[in-house]
Amino acid sequence: QVRLRESGPGLVKPSETLSLTCSVSDSSIITDHYWGWFRQPPGKGLEWIGSIFYSGSTYYNPSLNSRLTLSVDTSKNQFSLRLKSVTAADTAVYYCARGAPYGSGSCDHWGQGTLVSVSP
Amino acid sequence: VVLTQSPARLSLSPGERATLSCRASQSISSYLSWYQQKPGQAPRLLIYDASDRAPGVPARFSGSGSGTDFTLTISSLEPEDFAVYYCQQRKNWLFTFGPGTTVDVK
């Protein structure tokens, strides 16, 4: 059973950089799967942020592409997100998940989510 | 690819059948997943590849469709099925979600 856990600051100031890490346990991050980031503003729907494979290949949501960097650290079995120049619109629960490398690319394992608020 | 879900809200009683729709703005073959989300919880995968049930998902959940029109059916609602349901598509390794359908108790 793969387990994922998000970690990082719960409060970020506007114009600063949001950084989160997802720790993967009970499975190696070195698989064919992709590792994804998603977010959900309070009371709203889900949004895909981006995906990364252990090789380092990345796919980004075009709406976030200019501010987003995903990375993977296979030695720590972790992957990370950096979103720069944040605004209040980036306030959300952020989830990491494992995705299938074929077909619909569905995510079968998710972290519990972490709330990040952007506020002065 | 834009996904549209209908209805936005479905008010039903336990034991009734629920039919949820998801329409894509262009063909996505069968690259569609359905998720269930309850308050304060992460999404839970129900259906992948339009019609395949994820492990552990009860048989009352079924998915159908291909191309641009997809359906999630819950044959007989159990109390634990009242939740928000999202469809998600993949095209060229870019993903989008529908806005969700809330299934609540009538």
Among the partner-chain residues B49, B95, B96, the one whose CB lies closest to the CB of A103 is B49
d(CA B17, CA B40): 25
d(CA A117, CA A99): 26
Residue range B23-82, pLDDT digits in tens: 999 999 999 999 999 999 999 999 999 999 999 999 999 999 999 999 999 999 999 999
Dump the DSSP string for B30-64.
T-EEEEEE-TTS--EEEEETTTEEPTT--TTEEEE
Quote the pLDDT of residue A43. 96
For the segment A62-71, the average pLDDT, to the nearest whole number, is 97
Banded pLDDT at A33 (limits 50, 70, 90): very high
Quote the pLDDT of residue A77. 97
Interface test with A, best of B3, B36, B37, B90 (most A CBs within 10 A): B90
Cβ separation A106–B37 shorter than 8 A: no
Please enumerate in sequence order all residues whose Cβ is within 8 A of that of A27, keeping only pairs 6 or more positions apart, or say none: A2, A3, A98
Find the closest chain A residue to B44 by CA distance. Answer: A108
Quote the pLDDT of residue B80. 98
Among the partner-chain residues B48, B50, B98, the one whose CB lies closest to the CB of A100 is B48
As given in the structure block, the two tokens for residue A44 are 């709203």
d(CA B72, CA B88): 12
Residue type, A118: V
Quote the pLDDT of residue A14. 98
Contacts of B90 in chain A (CB under 8 A): 103-105
For the segment A35-56, the average pLDDT, to the nearest whole number, is 97
For the segment B84-92, the average pLDDT, to the nearest whole number, is 96
Q: Which of A68, A88, A93 is nearest to A6 (CA)?
A: A93
